[in-house]
């Protein structure tokens, strides 16, 4: 629906590009869906939501929370899923003047940082816990993302955490404005 805007783009500061994606989270009985808003440059999870259905509203809620707490990115990149091509989601992006970027069909590598996040979430949290309820999944994932942002060093940032990488680049934004 929309072109992929990130090819060849140098993304080196917070709030330049955000990525969103959805994955399923297995529980002891059944599963839930997880959406995350990820700052591309810092790998910081800005917001997330857990839901039992694949409606677009939980994606819009996560996006709104991230914008309310951290400001407006220049570009949001997603896949071409129905939640991200819904009128509600696209209207939210347009209302904030955000450029829309979408992965090519079947091109998971276009959103590789979110795919890497899903691997980390599942191997470091979900597969170890086998949540027994939706509320347990929500609480466990919220705790995980707090630890991930504040304590988990990333090679891409010379061992800094996502929080350190994200907040370190914000003064650059203020000086440029």
Structural domains in the chain, sorted by start = 17-107+114-176 (3.30.420.10)
**Looking at residue 170, what is its pLDDT?**
79
**Looking at residue 155, what is its pLDDT?**
86
Q: Which residues of the chain have pLDDT under 50?
A: 173-177
**Looking at residue 157, what is its pLDDT?**
86
**Looking at residue 176, what is its pLDDT?**
45
Question: Dihedrals φ, ψ of 22, to 5°?
Answer: -120, 140
Longest dimension (CA), the chain: 50
Tell me, rounded to whole angstroms, the distance of Cα 170 from its chain centroid: 18
User: Around Cβ 8, how many Cβ atoms within 10 Å?
Assistant: 5
**Looking at residue 106, what is its pLDDT?**
54
Contacts within 8 Å (CB) and 24+ apart, 84-92: 84/20, 84/56, 84/59, 85/1, 86/56, 88/56, 88/57, 88/60, 89/56, 89/59, 89/60, 89/63, 92/60, 92/63, 92/64
Closest CA relative to residue 3, chosen from 101, 112, 87: 101
Contact 63, 47 (CB under 8 A): yes
Residues sharing a CB contact under 8 Å with residue 167, sequence separation 6 or more, in sequence order: 14
Question: Dihedrals φ, ψ of 19, to 5°?
Answer: -125, 145
By 3-state DSSP, what share of the chain in percent is helix, strand and coil, each rounded to 5?
45, 20, 35
User: Around Cβ 100, how many Cβ atoms within 10 Å?
Assistant: 18
CA distances 166 to 42, 92, 173, Å, are 5, 23, 11
**Looking at residue 124, what is its pLDDT?**
95
């Amino acid at each position: 629906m929309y072109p992929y805007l990130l090819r060849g783009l140098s993304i080196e500061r917070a709030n330049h590009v955000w990525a969103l994606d959805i994955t399923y989270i297995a529980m002891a009985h059944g599963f839930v869906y997880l959406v995350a808003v990820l700052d591309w440059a810092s790998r910081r999870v800005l917001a997330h939501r857990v839901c039992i259905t694949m409606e677009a509203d939980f994606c819009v809620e996560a996006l709104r929370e991230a914008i309310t707490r951290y400001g407006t990115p220049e570009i949001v990149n997603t896949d071409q899923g129905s939640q991200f091509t819904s009128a509600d989601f696209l209207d939210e992006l347009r209302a904030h003047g955000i450029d829309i970027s979408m992965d090519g069909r079947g091109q998971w590598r276009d959103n590789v940082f979110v795919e890497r996040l899903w691997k980390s979430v599942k191997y470091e949290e979900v597969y170890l816990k086998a949540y027994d309820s939706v509320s347990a999944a929500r609480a466990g994932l919220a705790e995980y993302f707090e630890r991930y942002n504040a304590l988990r060093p990333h090679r891409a940032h010379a061992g800094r955490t996502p929080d350190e990488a994200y907040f370190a680049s914000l003064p650059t934004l203020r000086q440029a404005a």
